[in-house]
Amino acid sequence: MIVGGVAGGMSAATRLRRVDEDRPIVVFERGEHVSFANCGLPYHVGGVIEEREDLLLTSPPELERRFGIEVRTRHEVVSIDRDRRVVTVRDIEADQEFEQAYDALVLATGASPVRPPLPGIERALSLRDVADLDRIVALLDSGEIRTAAVLGGGFIGVELAENLVHRGLSVSLVELADQVLPPLDPEMAAIVEQRLSDHGVALHIGTGAARITDDAVILDDGSTVPADVVFAAIGVSPESRLARDAGLELGPRGGIVVDDAQRTSDPHIYAVGDAALKRDALDGEPAMVALAQTANRHGRLVADAIVGRPVKAQPVLGTAVVGVFGLTVATVGWSEKRLRAAGRKYRAIHTHPNSHAGYYPGAERMDLKLLVDPDTDAILGAQGVGASGVDKRIDVIATAMRGELTASDLGDLELAYAPQFGSAKDPVNMLGLIADNLAAGKAETIQWHEVEERVSAGATLVDVRTDAEVARGAIPGSLHISLDELRVRHQELPAGPLVVYCAAGQRGHTAARMLTQHGHDAVNLDGGYLTWAQGNRLAGPLSA
């Protein structure tokens, strides 16, 4: 018996049938649709996915015909009797309850939107399923909606904001944190914020909603955001009431505790998807990761566990991607701010390569960040923002992390190359080569947020870019000597520590190596002026 459909539940059901033709399988789904493309819902709101039916992946009759699976929609499992191995089910349409026995029970109950106790929160809409989608589309089709406020700047909030703009609405995005997309570090999120602003989204960052009125949202800072419609995209919490009431072990945030076979504290009950806790790949601690790809993997794994196949759920890396007005934004592993908060040592590497060979038409800048353990050279995380090619690079790094390759190993990966697809030294290779230089002591870098401290301690900033680049912007207080002049003019530099920088870091590395071998105390600014400008929210370089 499976409680809940969509990614985890239906993956478990169909895999189970493929490995066991004779076992009776029944699925109870509270909603009207058992299998739909949850991640595509915002794009039907915006009209990018034009046909609603394209989001409906299969139906109960199709599942019965193809797989012999009994699917009952509009049936809610309301309680579990573990001793008797039966559940109580409510037929929502008939408003009647009945009991059904199980041998193995899979909880795929998902997660529900967080609804903070704000005055007027009942006005806020959430986008969780097809029923929510239908209500939202009908409202927008009424022609009475001109302004929208989205509460929450995470992945779903950003997707909603973009698609509401596509619908012609004036959109405000409210985020309590000091940046959008919390899995990113601030200098990477700054690029996304600039893209949102460039497309007309009014950003209200660092402030939350205090109350919701009939036509506006009043913020904590006292400002008013016009809103004919309000969307709550503040986050999700696991739908674990069934498990809790049945006495199953839960984590501190309500996630269902499972072992490596997704088995709960009851050996006859399993849990998958957003309701179940995962194990973090970096520290082994329980983690809440609400991702469809993970739910699909674990649904398949549970089916194998039920029929007795030895299985082991891999720890999660949290690999995720989102599109924002033509930008691709992707992340894997831990961010720098999370590493700092945990007190874990790390080394950060920023690059700003082209998506493919610069001489081939259409090359666009990417912004990549790699986080590395300075003692073991293990990859701790990566982030990328850019118009194209970002997902490919993050996927390569995620695969390297799963295979336990070191950061330096990235430099020797054999990746597909042609000028319209990449560079002879792919951006992933370049991250690895930089990591190798740092690990071998052939380079020393500082981060954008360390510049002020270094200067205060007496370091001199040396800008080795061209005159034209400097004219477009420079770090205040810098001494300018271009790289091509530096070899003959280095004696003009003052004694004491030097922080060298270029646009993206490569020329700065050459300059720092040259100066060091000429007796200077020189370090390179990681990621150069572009990273420093992003971290300091300077608009020009963000979209260069």
Look up the CATH number of the domain holding residue 457.
Answer: 3.40.250.10
Q: Which structural domain range is residue 216 located in? A: 115-234
Contact between 74 and 92 (Cβ < 8 Å): yes
- Residue 276: inside a domain, yes or no? yes
Q: Is residue 320 part of a domain?
A: no
The closest of 255, 258, 253, 211 to 230, measured between CA atoms, is 211
User: Alpha carbon 72 to chain centroid distance?
Assistant: 33
pLDDT number for residue 311: 95
One domain, residues 107 and 126: no
Ranges in the chain, pLDDT < 50 = 544
Based on the domain organization, do 119 and 226 belong to the same domain? yes
According to DSSP H, which parts of 241-333 are helical?
Answer: 241-245, 292-306
Q: 107 and 241: one domain?
A: yes
Structural domain includes residue 318 = no
Whether 336 and 387 share a structural domain: yes
Q: Provide the annotated active-site residues.
A: 502
Question: Is residue 245 domain-shared with residue 100, that is, in the same domain?
Answer: yes
> Do 456 and 509 fall into the same domain?
yes
Residues 102 and 247 in one domain: yes
The structure's pTM equals 0.93
| Domain final position from 180, 205, 234 | 234
Is residue 317 one of the residues assigned to a domain? no
Q: Is 56 part of a structural domain of the chain? A: yes
Residue 210 lies in a domain: yes
| Pair 198, 218 in one domain | yes
- Number of neighbouring beta carbons within 10 Å of residue 251: 17
Give the count of domains, the chain.
4
**Same domain assignment for residues 140 and 286:** no
Per-residue model confidence (pLDDT) at position 6: 86
Q: Tell me the C-alpha distance between 270 and 267, whole Å.
A: 8
Which phi and psi angles does 226 have, rounded to 5°? -65, 140
pLDDT for res 391: 96
Final residue belonging to a domain, choices 234, 255, 272:
234
The 3-class SS string of 320-380 reads EEEEECCEEEEEEECCHHHHHHCCCCCEEEEECCECCCCCCCCCCEEEEEEEECCCCCEEE
Q: Is the domain of 219 the same as that of 249? A: no
User: Which tokens is 221 given?
Assistant: 């800072």
Domain-terminating residue out of 306, 334, 361:
306
Q: Can you give the pLDDT at residue 532?
A: 97
Note whether 334 and 416 are same-domain residues.
Answer: yes
Check the CA dihedral 374-375-377-381 and report its sign: negative
In CATH, what number is assigned to the domain containing residue 351? 3.50.50.60
> Which pLDDT score, from 0 to 100, does residue 188 have?
97
Q: What is the pLDDT of residue 544?
A: 42
313 domain-assigned: no
**Residue 125 within any structural domain of the chain:** yes
Phi, psi at 447, each rounded to 5°: -95, 160
Is residue 347 located within the same domain as residue 412?
Answer: yes
